[in-house]
């Protein structure tokens, strides 16, 4: 079989840092190959080589070729979509560029509507899952022979994830070659024909999916498989793990008062929110006790991220109140001031889009402690470096800009930045979706061990089972179920969790 895409003995080095070492990879027409490995293993560097793209200053040996047009679906959709253009306008222009007049078919194949109301939206008015599906629709407009999908199911609910798996299978049935970069081994099992496992830029194992995952030969592959299937019982005592607690960061002043004894940390009452004239949240009422974790789950577009943005002051509610330790929060972040911004910290699903691409990661994280805690530069850099080290990011890596870190590394950096502010409420929006199984387990241990009050948004019910005390289910902007994690996840009543 002549491969549609072929990488042969590809090595990529930037300075004295090897990114890839003699990588071989082939994808045939009508075949799905999964590229699996931890954050920083070289998956994205390998995939981009098929487009002739390499990091600045890279020394390249070996070859990468595609026998026709290739389309790339990136991991971070918000960063790839034009924020100031309506969806329909951008799609029509791209369709004309490819000589394709039927954008509606591409939208339907990606399980998106093509009505005027949807096409007049801007990208920021879509959920993370809808943004990802929009990128798949854009990729299909050019009739590619190869589709490279970087974590295509990231941030998607189980129903939508299954639909995207079906769509990628349909591409295979149509004779299109598909290369999938994926951390989710369950998705790989369900989707791929063959798998290539990367570790620190080297191929450590490859072969049919069933054979590799059933009896992995490489120690690294065995660790990935074991972490995917390992149960994560919730700790009986919420002790901070690995010294990571906002109040205990190096150089931090004394912890702020913990609020009224016996009172709720977070109270949401009658909250409603609009996107222009469209109602996206209605009548949300919830309470979160100090030191506990509320998990929020629901299908893509259910209103989860809008609710989180309202809590952080990033989206102005239409009606309702939000109280932190009994005190109403100003509705906008501009009105909250330095202390109010520090009190409620948000870790975004799209970590790459939350960093300045021109500045070193360490400097950006240290800036949080300077602006929100009043530390001097030396204290802030020390606090930031030590917290990053505890989260698995040593200083040599964080001395570089965001482009030099993997998606998983950027997500850990974003978590460190939020924790450095010593928040009373930490909001985490799908922050484990870009992580490999081993790193995800470690981050979940961190989240479960924090004594900060948390709101965690996740499509993966196993994540909420690990970290949440209570779970709220949203559907079409309404709260349809709420209770203890054991009750909601163990015997869900609403069909959206089925």
460 falls within a domain: yes
Residues 268 and 192 in one domain: no
DSSP strand E in 230-342: where?
Answer: 266-275, 278-288, 293-297, 319-324, 327-328
Residues 415 and 465 in one domain: yes
Which CATH number does the domain housing residue 158 bear? 3.40.50.300
User: What are the two backbone dihedrals, phi and then psi, of residue 488, each rounded to the nearest 5 degrees?
Assistant: -70, -45
What pLDDT, on the 0 to 100 scale, is given for residue 396? 83
**Domain boundary at 229, 262, 286, which?**
229
Residues 23 and 152 in one domain: yes
- How many distinct structural domains can be found in the chain? 2
428 falls within a domain: yes
402 falls within a domain: no
DSSP strand E in 155-306: where?
Answer: 177-181, 194-199, 202-208, 266-275, 278-288, 293-297
**Domain boundary at 229, 258, 290, which?**
229
Residues 178 and 74 in one domain: yes
Q: What's the alpha-carbon Rg for the chain, to the nearest Å?
A: 22
Neighbours of 216 (CB within 10 A): 20
Residues 61 and 197 in one domain: yes
- How far is Cα 479 from Cα 155, in angstroms, rounded to an integer? 20
User: What are the two backbone dihedrals, phi and then psi, of residue 441, each rounded to the nearest 5 degrees?
Assistant: -60, -40
Q: What range does the domain containing 490 cover? A: 246-356+408-497
Q: Which residue has the higher pLDDT, 101 or 359?
A: 359
- 29-80: pLDDT as tens digits: 999 999 998 877 899 899 999 999 998 889 999 999 999 999 998 877 777 8
- 164-203: pLDDT as tens digits: 788 889 889 989 999 999 888 889 999 999 999 999 999 9
According to DSSP, the β-strands at 17-27 and 5-14 are antiparallel
Residues 270 and 169 in one domain: no
62 falls within a domain: yes
Cβ pair 129, 153 in contact under 8 A:
no
Residues 278 and 202 in one domain: no
Cβ pair 494, 334 in contact under 8 A:
no
Residues 193 and 282 in one domain: no
Residues 96 and 196 in one domain: yes
- 301-354: pLDDT as tens digits: 889 999 999 999 999 999 999 999 999 999 999 999 999 999 999 998 778 778
Residues 96 and 57 in one domain: yes
pLDDT above 90 covers a percentage of the chain that reads: 53
- How far is Cα 346 from Cα 184, in angstroms, rounded to an integer? 24
């Amino acid at each position: 079989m002549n491969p549609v895409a072929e990488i042969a003995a590809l090595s990529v080095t930037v300075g004295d840092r090897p990114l890839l070492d003699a990588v071989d990879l082939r994808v045939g027409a009508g075949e799905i190959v999964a590229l699996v490995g931890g954050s920083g293993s070289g998956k994205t560097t390998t995939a981009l080589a098929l487009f002739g793209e390499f990091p600045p200053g890279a020394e390249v040996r070996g070859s990468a070729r595609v026998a026709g047009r290739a389309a790339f679906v990136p991991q971070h959709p918000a960063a790839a979509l034009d924020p100031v253009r309506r969806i329909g306008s951008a799609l029509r222009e791209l369709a004309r560029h490819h000589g394709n007049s039927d954008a509606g078919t591409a939208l339907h194949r990606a399980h998106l509507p093509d009505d005027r109301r949807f096409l007049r939206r801007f990208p920021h008015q879509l959920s993370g899952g809808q943004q990802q599906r929009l990128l798949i629709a854009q990729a299909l407009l050019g009739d590619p022979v190869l589709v490279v999908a970087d974590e295509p199911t990231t941030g998607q609910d189980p129903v939508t994830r299954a639909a995207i798996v079906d769509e990628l299978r349909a591409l295979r049935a149509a004779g299109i070659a598909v290369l999938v970069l994926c951390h989710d081994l369950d998705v790989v099992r369900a989707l791929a024909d063959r798998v290539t496992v990367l570790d620190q830029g080297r191929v450590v194992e490859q072969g049919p999916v069933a054979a590799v995952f059933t009896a992995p030969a490489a120690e690294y592959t065995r660790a990935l498989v074991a972490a995917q299937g390992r149960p994560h019982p919730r700790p009986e005592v919420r002790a901070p793990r690995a010294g990571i607690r906002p109040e205990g960061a190096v150089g931090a002043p004394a912890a702020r008062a913990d609020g009224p004894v016996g009172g709720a940390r977070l109270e949401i009452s009658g909250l409603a929110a609009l996107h222009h004239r469209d109602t996206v949240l209605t009548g949300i009422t919830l309470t979160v006790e100090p030191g506990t974790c509320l998990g929020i789950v629901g299908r893509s577009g259910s209103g989860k991220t809008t609710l989180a943005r309202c809590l952080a002051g990033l989206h102005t509610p239409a009606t309702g109140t939000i109280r932190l330790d009994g005190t109403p929060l100003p509705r906008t972040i501009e009105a909250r001031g330095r202390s109010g911004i520090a009190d409620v910290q948000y870790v975004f699903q799209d970590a790459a889009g939350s960093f300045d691409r021109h500045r070193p990661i360490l400097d950006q994280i240290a800036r949080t402690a300077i602006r929100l805690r009043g530390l001097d530069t030396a204290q802030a850099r020390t606090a930031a470096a030590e917290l990053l080290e505890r989260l698995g990011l040593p200083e040599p890596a964080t001395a570089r800009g965001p482009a030099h870190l993997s998606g998983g590394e950027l997500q850990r950096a974003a978590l460190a930045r939020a924790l450095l502010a010593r928040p009373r409420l930490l909001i985490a929006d799908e922050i484990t979706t870009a992580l490999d199984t081993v790193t995800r387990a470690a981050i979940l241990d961190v989240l479960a061990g924090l004594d900060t009050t948390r709101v965690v948004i996740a499509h993966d019910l196993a994540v909420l089972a690990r970290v949440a005390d209570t779970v709220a289910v949203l559907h079409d902007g309404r709260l349809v179920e709420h209770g203890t994690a054991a009750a909601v996840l163990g015997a869900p009543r609403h069909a959206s969790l089925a």
